[in-house]
Amino acid sequence: MNKYELAVVVSAKLEEDQRNAAVDKCKGYIERFGGTITDVEDGGKRKLAYEIQKMKEAYYYFIHFDADASAPIEIENRVRLMEDVIRYLCVRQDEA
């Protein structure tokens, strides 16, 4: 099992319950593909480096999980299709 971090940037136009639903859906994908969530960090509302879909701010979430090497590809394929997520990135965490 490898350690991963999924960074998700969610639209600022959404209400809090819609944002939570989007994050829960991401967590569901992680669990569906055999991942174990270890931590969910709410990065809060931040200014974007550049405008995306006419938005200047968005909410950041960081989901830490353990999974097999094949899981991140499957998770990214599902998160890519979510309308509420404007950017995402899944990276492997180094053993420190």
Q: Which domains, from first to last, does the chain contain?
A: 2-81 (3.30.70.60)
Q: Is the pLDDT of residue 28 over 70?
A: yes
pLDDT, tens only, 31-78: 999 999 999 999 999 999 999 989 999 999 999 999 999 999 999 999
Facing residues of 57 across strands? 47
* Reported pTM: 0.90
For the chain, the C-alpha Rg in angstroms (whole number) is: 13
pLDDT, tens only, 11-22: 999 999 999 999
Q: Is the pLDDT of residue 91 over 70?
A: yes
Q: What residue has token string 């819609």?
A: 18
Q: What residue has token string 């053993």?
A: 95
